[in-house]
Amino acid sequence: MRNAGLGGWPARRAQMSPGRTAFVFEDRSLSYAEVHERTTRLASRLREAGVRAGDRVAYLGPNHVAFAETMFAAHVLGAIFVPLNFRLAAPEIAYMLADSGAAVLVYAPECAAVVREIPGPPGPHTVVALESPAEGERHYETWLSQGDPTPIDVAVTLDDVALILYTSGTTGRPKGAMLTHANLAWNCFHMLIGVDVAGTEVTLISAPLFHVAALNQTLLPTFLKGGTSVIMPFWDVDRCYDLIEKHRVTWMFGVTAMFAAFARSPRWPHADLSSLRTLMSGGAAIPVALIRAYQERGLVFCQGYGMTETAPGATFLEAGESVRKVGSAGVPVFFADVRVVRPDLTPVAPGEPGEVLVRGPNVTPGYWRNPEASAAALTEDGWFRSGDIATLDDEGHLHIVDRVKDMYISGGENVYPAEVESVLFEHPAVAEAAVVGVPDERWGEVGRAFVVPRPGAAVTPGELRGFLRPRLAKYKIPVYVDVVGALPKTGSGKIRKPDLRRRPLPAAPEE
């Protein structure tokens, strides 16, 4: 087989374990043999549509087996898969499609309204709908079923780009982080080492697959080992309990908001969770009190640190250390190196805060069509600059402290204030705007915007939120909006965001 990338995985798994269940989605199960055949048929259809090595194939929608099939089919041809965040607004999706130059878009019915708002050419020339295609679109299941099942073997190397994952940009425009087949494979190896993934694993895919964590920390390692991925379209606490009990789930990944809601359920004290071997978190630090609640229930809680650009694992806290080092993000993954440095790039002393740098075979080669951003993020000797602040203890365990960047995480979603501020500035009554993340019991953090109106203009918080709704994803819209006379600034004119974060929150958001 000439395909050394992920496109070869369905064929290899079908040869090794054809009858094992690869995916469970709603009431449907697919074996590895079926996944291989369906992926091959879909790849033949993509090839007929003109897709070749290096072309981009995008997917827009909630978790679905079609996500994995589209990804593997693209990789069979050596094409690049572009998973899109279905929570984004139409202008945001349109930008990513244009920037990536996607030739094909596969989308779910939940995203039909957004797809209808996307301008025509030069968008994707082939649009495939999972259900109810519009005129000129293909119907996914019909299109796939009529594809050719003859195996396809395109030469693909591990250094070829496999994914473009868009991360919200600190300058207001998203950047497409490129991940190679090698990046993804090495991250899977790290998971096999850190979690002891078994061929009998039953993994609950409950976080969005357009995020690299759900995709590459759970689904791909499970597929590599020949386990079963139980795919949830959307996060739902009761459904999660039902699936764990029905399928005897052994492994699941989540973020703070998900695990907190799970533990608050009235089913928590009595549910049968005996099948669970490993719970894994990432995206933001899980509060120690929440981790201890799971430990008291007899559940093993592993935590890691990483980012899209590191595919994503950079450090990991293995199960054996999860009690003694509770709250730590662990130590560097096996084949990567992590440093914590001062501004001059010299190593910090234990307990001294510094910026986290990562180097290894899981680190991105850069950003899609953005050499300036790539050069700024990567040092000459290959260290990725995370922009995150951490300390190392005397045993080398990482403890995340803060972020150099102003990014905050709301319900597991990264929010970059500069992006929100740039849209606020489009409002004709806004002279200045600053957005910060503030604590929230449900989501971990939410946005708070401080807006200075133009002289003689008046604007209300409700009006500003209404202005943002059609332009940004819901989770990016600030919960709190303060209309103020001025913003605190340094002598050089920079806004003092720490001062804004310290201001007391109003009792309830004002409309």
pLDDT tens-digit readout, 53-89: 999 999 999 999 999 999 999 999 999 999 999 989 8
Q: Tell me, what's the pLDDT at 210? A: 95
Q: Above 90 in pLDDT, residue 17?
A: yes
Q: 109-154: per-residue pLDDT in tens? A: 999 999 999 987 778 999 999 999 999 999 999 999 999 999 999 9
Q: Above 60 in pLDDT, residue 511?
A: no
Q: 200-211: per-residue pLDDT in tens? A: 999 999 999 999
CA distance 407 to 436: 8
Q: Tell me, what's the pLDDT at 340? A: 97
Q: How many Cα atoms sit within 13 Å of 60 on the Cβ side?
A: 29
Per the prediction, the chain carries an average pLDDT of 92
Q: How many Cα atoms sit within 13 Å of 424 on the Cβ side?
A: 31
Q: Above 70 in pLDDT, residue 331?
A: yes
Q: Tell me, what's the pLDDT at 283? A: 59
Share of the chain above pLDDT 70, in %: 95
Q: Above 80 in pLDDT, residue 104?
A: yes
Domains and CATH numbers, the chain: 1-157 (3.40.50.980), 179-341+388-405 (3.40.50.12780), 408-502 (3.30.300.30)
Q: Tell me, what's the pLDDT at 293? A: 84
CA distance 471 to 466: 9
Q: Which DSSP category does 305 fall into?
A: E
Rounded alpha-carbon distances, angstroms, from residue 298 to 273, 278, 322, 435:
9, 11, 12, 40
Residue ranges with strand state E in 42-191: 56-60, 80-84, 104-107, 126-129, 138-139, 161-167, 175-180
Span of 338-342, 375-379, 400-404 with lowest mean pLDDT:
400-404
Share of the chain above pLDDT 90, in %: 75
Q: 418-466: per-residue pLDDT in tens? A: 788 888 988 989 988 999 999 998 899 999 999 999 889 999 999 999 9
Contact 234, 62 (CB under 8 A): yes
Q: What is the pTM of this model?
A: 0.85
Summarize the confidence of residues 465-486 as an average pLDDT. 95
Summarize the confidence of residues 382-391 as an average pLDDT. 92
pLDDT band, very low/low/confident/very high, at 492 (cuts 50, 70, 90): very low
Q: Above 50 in pLDDT, residue 494?
A: yes
Residue ranges with strand state E in 221-326: 228-231, 251-254, 278-281, 301-306, 313-317
Dihedral angle over CA of 182, 185, 188, 189, nearest 10: -90
CA distance 498 to 457: 27
pLDDT band, very low/low/confident/very high, at 510 (cuts 50, 70, 90): low
Q: Tell me, what's the pLDDT at 325? A: 87
Q: Tell me, what's the pLDDT at 170? A: 43
Span of 300-309, 386-395, 502-511 with lowest mean pLDDT:
502-511
Residue 27 tokens, joined: 């009431």
List of residues 6+ apart from 453 with CB closer than 8 A:
429, 430, 431, 459, 483
Q: Above 90 in pLDDT, residue 178?
A: yes
Higher-pLDDT residue of 298, 179? 179
Contact 158, 5 (CB under 8 A): yes
